[in-house]
Every structure is written in C-alpha cells, then in structure tokens.
Amino acid sequence: MTAAALPTTGLISVQVGQDGTASFALPRAEVGQGITTSTAMLIAEEMAVPLERVRVTPPTSAPPC
C-alpha cells in the first residue's frame, strides 16, 4: 500500500485560537476533488463555528518519517 492510500484519521489536528478560529493542516494534497473544503465544512459543523472561522494550512512537502 502506498503512503497516499493510508488512512488520515490520526493525522488531522485541530487547534482553536483565543479568537475562536479553528485551524488545521490537512495531510493530503488538494487536486480538485474538494477535500480541503469538505473537511473545513465538517470541522465547522462539528465545532459549531462559521466556515469563515476555519483556516486550512496546506500540507508540507517534506516526506513522511
């Protein structure tokens, strides 16, 4: 199995700032399938924050350890 096919359940970490903004780094690249937007929408809904208050950080280009 390639690293790209591995589950991401333990890889997403959400941080909440003092201003109530939720930030997360998605460990998968966005290539038009909408994974960034759909994950941001799920986090906004589950945390009861407006979608505008969810910030997405792109993944690093470093290879996994």
Beta strands in the chain (DSSP E): 14-16, 22-25, 54-57
Token couple for 54: 């969810």
Q: pTM of the prediction?
A: 0.68
Tell me how far CA of residue 22 lies from CA of 4, 14, 40, 59, in angstroms: 25, 6, 9, 16
Mean pLDDT of 35-49: 91
Look over the chain and give the mean of its residue pLDDT values, rounded to a whole number.
80
H or E element that contains 11: none
CA end-to-end span of the chain, whole Å? 16
Cα separation, 55 vs 49, in Å, equals 11
More confident residue, 10 or 19: 19
